[in-house]
Amino acid sequence: MDRTMIADLLPDTAFADIADAAELPHDADANFVQRHPLQIAVCLRKLVAGQDFVTVEFNGRQIVTQVLDVDSRNARFVFDASSMADGNYALPAARQLIFRSLPGGIRTEFMTLNANPIAFEGQPAFEAPFPALLYYVQRREFFRVQTPVLDPYVASGPYADGGSFRLELQDLSLGGIALKTADERFASLESGTVLRDVVLQLGSFGTLRLDLEIVAPRRLSMPNGERRFVVGCKFVATPGPAERTLQRVVTQLETKRQALIPRR
């Protein structure tokens, strides 16, 4: 596949057969829509360069994949086969494929038509035509997933005035986490408070050490009269390796959740 050529693109009219079928997300802003094949190729190449995970939805199913190659000359791209054999088997029969990803927290979404199974560098893959439209939101929007209940992820760190805390995570995204606790000390923490050197224990994914800024503290009253607190926090900064780990965690948790949804 041609990874570098962008000057010899197909004309816009080559996409007329899929333009009528293209749809934008219901909340799409026209300022974030890429229409020209050159612009679309650039966005797809960013997914390749970042090795970002992409979800593909079709016929009530969903797989997780990665874009492997972008062929600008022929306005086609290649994406990896998933680890789900039934999804790989069903995908070629799908008329419409919806792709979604969050490279660096930037929402990328597009729809394309039929994908064909191929071999890419000796491995199973799929090839599809460029979308007529690609939605590329250059503001940070994060997909949040619930964290495990039976073997919970944990955040631990020091209080600013001494002592330490150890709290369970309620949910997780590329932008931050929500902590749940009965610790009354969190009742007095205001938005803007920064918790330094917090260690996140993420099960088989290992640990991350990050600073958290409290942005949404909430107080809950339980049926038995006890109080609980849910503390929404954003990451002050996420270095590249930490963001890649978080992306893997979010992707795996969402894939497991989707696998538990009954098929109609």
* In-domain check, residue 204: yes
Residue 89 is part of a domain; what is its CATH number?
2.30.110.10
Decide if 112 contacts 133 (C-beta within 8 A): no
How many domains would you assign to the chain?
2
Domain boundary among 140, 175, 205: 140
Please indicate, yes or no, whether residues 172 and 212 belong to a single structural domain of this protein. Answer: yes
For each of the chain's 264 residues, which pLDDT tens digit applies?
Answer: 333 332 233 333 333 333 333 444 444 455 578 888 888 998 899 899 888 889 899 998 888 899 999 998 899 999 999 888 899 999 999 999 999 987 766 778 999 988 999 999 999 999 999 999 998 875 555 667 889 888 899 999 987 777 889 999 988 988 889 898 888 887 777 778 889 999 999 999 999 999 998 887 777 766 676 778 888 888 988 888 888 898 888 888 877 776 665 554
Residue 35 CB contacts under 8 Å (≥ 6 apart), including other chains: 132, 133, 134
Please indicate, yes or no, whether residues 240 and 125 belong to a single structural domain of this protein. Answer: no
Please indicate, yes or no, whether residues 205 and 105 belong to a single structural domain of this protein. Answer: no
Please return the burial class of 119, using the count of CB atoms within 10 Å of its CB with bins 0-12, 13-18 and 19+: exposed
Please indicate, yes or no, whether residues 56 and 172 belong to a single structural domain of this protein. Answer: no
**H helices, E strands: number in the chain:** 4, 17
Task: Quote the radius of gyration of the chain (alpha carbons, Å).
Answer: 21
Please indicate, yes or no, whether residues 62 and 129 belong to a single structural domain of this protein. Answer: yes
Please indicate, yes or no, whether residues 74 and 156 belong to a single structural domain of this protein. Answer: no
Distances in whole angstroms, Cα of residue 3 to Cα of each of 76, 79, 112, 116, 207:
11, 14, 20, 19, 36
Please indicate, yes or no, whether residues 251 and 167 belong to a single structural domain of this protein. Answer: yes
Decide if 258 contacts 198 (C-beta within 8 A): no
For 111, the token pair is 């729809």
Cα 211 from chain centre: 21
Please indicate, yes or no, whether residues 59 and 154 belong to a single structural domain of this protein. Answer: no
* In-domain check, residue 153: yes
Please indicate, yes or no, whether residues 78 and 186 belong to a single structural domain of this protein. Answer: no
Please indicate, yes or no, whether residues 42 and 104 belong to a single structural domain of this protein. Answer: yes
Please indicate, yes or no, whether residues 28 and 126 belong to a single structural domain of this protein. Answer: yes
* In-domain check, residue 50: yes
The pTM for the full model equals: 0.49
Please indicate, yes or no, whether residues 124 and 40 belong to a single structural domain of this protein. Answer: yes
Q: Annotate 238-254 with DSSP letters as a single string.
A: --HHHHHHHHHHHHHHH
* In-domain check, residue 123: yes
* In-domain check, residue 2: no
**So what's the pLDDT on residue 264?**
47
**So what's the pLDDT on residue 210?**
94
For 6, the token pair is 């962008």
Decide if 5 contacts 72 (C-beta within 8 A): yes
What is the extent of the structural domain holding 34?
12-140
Decide if 216 contacts 175 (C-beta within 8 A): no
